[in-house]
Amino acid sequence: MPSITDHPSTRRAIPAVPVLSLAAFRPAGKAPPSLLDAPALRHVTSGRIAIGMALRALGVGPGDTVLVPAYHSPSMVPPVHWRGARAVFYRVHPDTTADLDDIAAKLDPTVKAVMATHFFGIPQDLAPLRALCDRHGIGLVEDCAHCLFGTRGPVAVGSSGDYAIGSSMKFFPVYDGGCLVSHRHPLDVRLQGGGAGFEAKAALNTLEAAFAHGRLPVLRAALALPLRLKEALWNRVKARRGARADGTPADGAPAPSTLAPASSDSGFDFDPRWMDRRASLFARLVLRFAARARIVALRRRHYLQLEQALAGLPGCRPLFPALPDGACPWVFPVLFDDPEPVFAALQRARVPVVRFGAVLWPGVDASVCPNSADLGRRLIAFPCHQELSAAERTWLCAAIGDAARAGAAVAA
Ligand SMILES: *Cc1c(COP(=O)(O)O)cnc(C)c1O
């Protein structure tokens, strides 16, 4: 039996998230339905900023309550607090769908909005929740952070909520990016730029991430010298920003005091200084020109390859019994009976994973929602994004198999 140690440890780690490639821009057929087709659309710097803007548009303010799924990303909660509102957590079913009875039980006159998430890219049926919100005059924020593309039956993602939000960083090879969309209301907001330092950082970080994984070698060679000058440039940009006493850039808006939002560096922080800021030009160009059909087709193919490779492995099963038609997966989520030894083995092998829900908002435990606690403990998700090469996928499948067998051997 092959073991993890057969994989050379000097191997370059495979990309956890999509990195830039030339293939991303080759024409690839008819664009699939996407949040990005909504009649009203604003590109901002992150999904969490879009949540804050959606809650503001719904008039959420001090004294209001927002219902949030107990299974969540902790980045979903600070935008609620930013509005001065209270987050109350509702239960989800074992398959991550919203528990409508629990939502109904938690309704009181302070509830102003409900957030509903299409977890891992599988669109849920939001019609019953939409009807409940309509009956009670409550706003619905459709969280499509995992679900930028897709349909469920005839319903396109993003069309059920009063507002929907996306996290373009999770699907496109970009450093920053989220979107706020609506099929139901005009978007009455004007965005301002994030500043020259942010624009430069967004472009360079995207390129460097690609270079770090061996992508775009020709461009890398061409840029070797400019990139070596980058540190010097940063120091100058930072020094200039520090020297400007009132922090006011030419366009009159107060400058965000950090060069780029923390949301681009994989934390859960919410920085209101990035409210109403436009996504970087680099990110908007990538979103404009990358072939969307390729993203959807390859993510589905890679998901199905992982599903097939893991079939029959001991001690685990895919969270979803099948990949529905019309879904574009974010990652491939797997439930492990005894996750910790498997997780340790995966870390030793440098397999990129997402343990979505392992960290929940303080106080959200099994007494609030047993299913969320169980998902958070047992779920390990693997990348299935469009930029995994055939060799990387073969290695990934083998490494997951090794880790699952090693974990099951510990359990036995
Ligand atoms: C990532 C995520 C967000 C926030 O998106 P960012 O772009 O990281 O701010 C919101 N909801 C869910 C479910 C997420 O996973």
pLDDT digits (tens, 9 = 90+) for 114-154: 999 999 999 999 999 999 999 999 999 999 999 999 999 99
Q: What is the pLDDT of residues 239-290, one digit of tens each?
A: 777 655 444 444 445 556 578 888 888 778 899 999 999 999 999 999 999 9
- Residue 87 in 3-state DSSP? strand
Same domain, 8 and 92: no
Q: Check whether residue 318 and residue 407 sit in a common domain.
A: yes
Same domain, 8 and 114: no
Q: Looking at ligand 1, which atom is closest to the CA of residue 178?
A: 7
The tens digit of pLDDT for each residue in 373-397 reads 999 999 999 999 999 999 999 999 9
- Residue-wise pLDDT tens digits, 284-342: 999 999 999 999 999 999 999 999 999 999 999 999 999 999 999 999 999 999 999 99
Which atom of ligand 1 is the closest one to the Cα of 46?
Answer: 7
**Quick one: CA dihedral 305, 307, 308, 310, positive or negative?**
positive
Q: Indicate whether 8 and 109 sit together in one domain.
A: no
Q: Give domain status of residue 83, yes or no.
A: yes
* Residue 189: closest CA among 53, 283, 80: 53
Among the candidates 119, 153, 182, a domain finishes at 182
Q: Is residue 311 part of a domain?
A: yes
Residue 324 maps to a domain = yes
Residues listed for the chain: 412
Q: Looking at the domain assignment, is residue 177 inside a domain? A: yes
Query: Tens digit of pLDDT for each residue in 105-119?
Result: 999 999 999 999 999
Pocket of ligand 1 (CB under 6 A): 46-48, 73, 75-76, 117, 143, 145-146, 167, 169, 178, 263
The verdict on residue 285 lying in a domain is no
CATH number at residue 131: 3.40.640.10
CA–CA distances in Å: residue 152 to residues 119, 290, 302, 355: 13, 24, 20, 25
Final residue belonging to a domain, choices 159, 182, 205? 182
- Counting Cα atoms < 13 Å in the Cβ hemisphere of 60 gives 30
Residue 119 and residue 103: Cα distance in Å, rounded?
17
- Residue 92 lies inside a defined structural domain of this protein: yes
Indicate whether 8 and 50 sit together in one domain.
no
Q: Is residue 17 part of a domain?
A: no
pLDDT, average across residues 14-28: 92
Same domain assignment for residues 8 and 119: no
Domain extent for 318: 4-12+291-411
In total, how many domains does the chain have? Answer: 2
The predicted pLDDT at position 253 comes to 52
